[in-house]
Amino acid sequence: MALLERVFAAVSDFLWGPPLIMLLVGGGLFFLIYSRALPYRHFGHAVALLRGRYDSRSDPGDISHFQALSAALSGTLGLGNIAGVAVAISMGGPGAVFWMWVTALVGVATKFFTCTLSIMYRGYDSEGRLQGGPMYIIREGLGRKWLLLAGLFCVAGLFGTLPVFQINQLAEALRDAILMPAGVISEDQIGVFNFLLGVTVAAVVASVIFGGIWRIGRVTAVVVPAMVIVYLLCALVILVINAGEIPRYLQLIFTDAFRGDYTQAAIGGLLGVMIVGVRQGAFSNEAGIGTEVMAHGAARTREPVREGLVAMMGPVIDTLLVCTCTALVILTTGAWQAGEGVAGAALTASAFADALGAPGPWLVAALVVVFSMSTMFTFWYYGAKCLGFLIGAEHQHWYKYFYTALVVLGAVVSLEVVIYLITAMYGLMAIPTMIATLLLAPRVMAAARDYFARQSDVNPE
């Protein structure tokens, strides 16, 4: 097991090196320049799309624009917003937040291109149902000679979307931050607690995922906005309490981004901070990874550009808004200087406890419950679609049972090997997604020019 851990750690570190950073950030910068910042100039139209102004039930697809964005955000607004930001700061210092912002800013353009393609090149699965995702973009847009690239994405997607990390971190947050300090459970009761929690969460997850993407869309359309609002309100209270510290730490984020004094990454200095920030930013908003493309590919629309505009709101909400609030809470409360032994969700819980007292850790634990479960709802859909593409959609329903069992298993096992495996798979998913999008970018721009020329209520391009 130790050997596997070292192997997967080495693979993960190699994949998330400078080449992949250049592919994600450089690719996003190319999309921004190539489009002449087109997506950024149409946020008003994107909001109108989210409000349902252009929805039509006769359009092909399964869920509305708003439900598609909610389903995609339920996968991104997970532990990355609570634990991921804390990991970035503890490894790369405040400057890592700046590079998360960079990832989000160029990620707006990346998501516009990838998710426009998710509608342009939807394909039919083996049961004749219309589907979207990077594998269908590759097959329908680039041709069958590129199927090996589509297969690489699907294999990586099967492992990259496993629920074991989410349930394991959920169990750890409840156990270590709340129940054990309060004396509710003891060391010898950890195994029983983990198993019972796994069974309970598996039952809840099963009740949602067995309803398919339609039920996921309905559930996340309610849960995601609610959890974002609650989290932001709590963070806002803390930031108001520490308002005097905000300017100083905003300045520190910018200055440290180019110094790298705090980095504990394998590669030190500026490059280390960049890698930490970009990697955590990619985990946070998934721009260029390809998982969110599958959720947006289920949107009910005949206009590909519309879904691209809706999808581009994801990095703004996820990283520029929610992650920034988390970062400022951790920095302004001074929790980030707690020492090397505190990281991840525990660091965020410490920040909330510093500002809100005893209720702080309970609040973080409650949010971890909702955030991690919402991610598990959506990740099932991603894994099932990957399996259906590989072996046939008529067999993908078996993934529900496998996925539910892994929720229970993930609560009771040690997951160091799996964590490294999952991060490596995220890197592998990004490669076919970005290659296909870069090759098909001219077709996206042609579709965008045509779309805006036909919209009487939108400034034509």
Range of 50-64, 199-213, 381-395 with top mean pLDDT:
381-395
pLDDT of 460 over the 80 cut: no
pLDDT of 165 over the 80 cut: no
Which band of pLDDT confidence, cut at 50, 70 and 90, is reported for residue 396?
confident
Which band of pLDDT confidence, cut at 50, 70 and 90, is reported for residue 171?
confident
Q: Which of 163-167, 173-177, 376-380 has the lowest mean pLDDT?
A: 173-177
Give the tens place of pLDDT for each residue, 337-360.
Answer: 765 555 566 677 778 777 777 777
Q: What value does the mean pLDDT take over residues 65-79? A: 68
Show me where the domains of the chain are located. Answer: 2-450
- Token pair of 182 as six digits: 């309060």
- The per-residue pLDDT of the chain, averaged, comes to 81
Count Cβ neighbours within 10 Å for each residue of 233-243 and write b for 16 or more, e otherwise.
ebbeebbeebe
Q: What value does the mean pLDDT take over residues 409-427? A: 75
Residues 404 and 206 sit within 8 Å (Cβ to Cβ): yes
- The position carrying tokens 């579709």 is 447
Residue 397 or residue 84, greater confidence: 397
% pLDDT > 70, the chain = 85
Which band of pLDDT confidence, cut at 50, 70 and 90, is reported for residue 108?
very high
Q: Which of 56-65, 83-92, 119-128, 243-252 has the lowest mean pLDDT?
A: 56-65
Q: DSSP 3-state helix, strand, coil percentages of the chain (rounded to 5)?
A: 80, 0, 20
CA 342 to chain centre: 23
Identify residue 205 by its one-letter amino acid code: V
Q: What value does the mean pLDDT take over residues 415-422? A: 70
Which band of pLDDT confidence, cut at 50, 70 and 90, is reported for residue 265?
very low
Assigned superfamily of 2-450: Amino acid/polyamine transporter I (1.20.1740.10)
pLDDT of 212 over the 70 cut: no
> In whole angstroms, what is the distance from residue 406 CA to residue 409 CA?
5
pTM for the predicted model, two decimal places: 0.83
pLDDT, residue 271, reads 66
Which band of pLDDT confidence, cut at 50, 70 and 90, is reported for residue 266?
very low
Output phi, psi for 168, to 5 deg.
-65, -45
**DSSP string for residues in 62-120:** SB-HHHHHHHHHHHHSSHIIIIIHHHHHHHH-THHHHHHHHHHHHHHHHHHHHHHHHHH
> In whole angstroms, what is the distance from residue 379 CA to residue 400 CA?
11
- Token pair of 362 as six digits: 């309970």
Look up residue 383 and give its DSSP letter.
Answer: H
